[in-house]
Amino acid sequence: MSVEADAASRVLYAFEWQRRRVLRRAWMTLIFASLLFGLFIALGFWRNIDPDQLLLLSLSRRVAVLVAAMFALRAVFNLGRAMFRHTQIAQFSREGFAWQVDNDIHRYPWEQLRAYRKGARIWRVFRLPIRRFGQHRLTMNDGRAFVLHHGMTSPELFERAMDPIIDALMGEKIANTLRAGGNVRLHKHLFLTKNGVVVLKGGKKIGIKWSSADIRQMGGQLGIYAAGKNGKFKLVRRFPVHTVDNLGGFLELADATLSSHQPERFNLKTVGQNPRR
């Protein structure tokens, strides 16, 4: 049985990482490395050559051994991936996802998602990617976690396809938990309550009511602000966004909650009394 049979609705995103394909790629790369290394040795036996061509011969041997070493390193890398990683195939829809690991298939509706952390990142120089690292993580209610990283798929394409669905769902789940009087942990130093945001800083617990809080994402940082006596917002603490769970759902909730508790700040007209502060 394969994961393709599990698509109950239209697939919005899918990926496939096959161990045998990586292993095949590793052997092909190793063959190229061997051929280039053989060329390096063969050029060393070339004796009948004009003195003015010795420089070209020496340069050719250096290029051959350098490229052979690069192919060999790539082959070792691919062999390591094939040895220590499992075949993984996944399909995602509006209702949930099916994720196959070797011969085991795991099926989950989105309602069973507990935390979505976007930890995959790309370092760029002049918009050119120079390093890809980190991973996106889906943690379910039963504790099982599924990760997406650049070695198996594109976390950025996954975000474009699935974030609107996941963020809306997690924002609603957070709101329901707060309305029921529960607390929500986004980070080991960041919590949400019905009354506002709680930040742990320097061993102290700082509570910020919704009526005096501000939430800002600036690049890779999430900033938590509190209004001072003069009405100006001051930074309480920043958190790297790749360490915060359910960031998108939290930001959706924060936009709606802050505007309802601070209508004058967002130029919203209110009927009757202002929301309780």
Torsion 217-218-223-225 (CA) sign: negative
Question: What mean pLDDT is predicted for residues 1-7?
Answer: 47
- 44 alpha-carbon distance from chain centroid: 49
Q: Which residues contact 82 (CB under 8 A, 6 or more apart)?
A: 19, 20, 22, 23, 26
Identify the pLDDT of residue 273.
45
Q: Averaged over 23-40, what is the pLDDT?
A: 85
The amino acid that residue 198 corresponds to is: V
Supply the pTM of this predicted model: 0.77
Query: Each residue of 198-207: b (16+ CB within 10 Å) or e?
Result: bbeeeeeeee
Question: Can you give the pLDDT at residue 126?
Answer: 82
269 versus 159: the higher-pLDDT residue is 159
Distance of alpha carbon 109 from alpha carbon 165, whole angstroms: 12
For residue 22, pLDDT beyond 60? yes
How confident is the prediction for the chain on average, in pLDDT? 87
Q: What would the pLDDT profile of 55-110 be if each residue is shown by its tens digit?
A: 788 888 889 889 989 988 888 877 777 777 788 999 999 999 999 998 899 999 99
pLDDT band at 113 (very low <50, low <70, confident <90, very high): very high
Range with lowest mean pLDDT among 126-140, 168-182, 200-214, 256-270: 256-270
The whole-number average pLDDT for the span 251-262 is 92
Calpha distance 22→92 (Å, rounded): 23
**What confidence tens digit (pLDDT) does each residue in 228-245 have?**
888 899 999 999 999 999
Q: Report, in angstroms and rounded to the nearest whole number, the Rg of the chain calculated over CA atoms.
A: 27
